[in-house]
């Protein structure tokens, strides 16, 4: 089973994004997804695979903080 944390795109250069995953910044490839700065995404193997609505991402992050 995989646990995916939503991350917020903080900057984009071409098809690479800097994404904040709860304070950890990762470079994520946006080739598979149309996303913009400020969007929340789910990533797998370095690629953004799904956009997540902001309210859902924030709720998920709140729940994970209480569970971990």
**Cα 59 from Cα 17, distance rounded (Å):** 23
Residue recorded with tokens 């939503």: 6
| pLDDT score for 65 | 82
Number of domains in the chain: 1
Give tens-digit pLDDT for 20-51: 998 999 999 999 999 999 999 999 999 999 99
Q: Can you give the CATH number for the domain in which 48 is found?
A: 2.30.30.140
Residue 28 neighbours by CB distance under 10 Å: 26
Which residue has better confidence, 3 or 32? Answer: 32
State both tokens at 24.
């950890």
Confidence of residue 6 (pLDDT cuts 50, 70, 90): very high
pTM for this prediction: 0.89
**What are 31's two structure tokens?**
């080739």
7-25 mean pLDDT: 96
Q: Could you give the CA distance from residue 15 to residue 34 in angstroms, rounded to a whole number?
A: 9
Report d(CA 17, CA 40) in Å as an integer. Answer: 11
Domain that holds residue 34: 7-67
């Amino acid at each position: 089973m995989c646990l995916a944390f939503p991350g917020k795109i903080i900057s984009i250069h071409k098809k690479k994004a800097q994404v904040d995953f709860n304070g950890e910044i990762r470079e994520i490839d946006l080739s598979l997804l149309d996303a913009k700065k400020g969007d929340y995404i789910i990533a797998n193997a370095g690629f953004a695979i799904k956009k997540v609505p902001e309210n859902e991402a924030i709720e998920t992050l709140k729940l994970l903080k209480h569970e971990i």
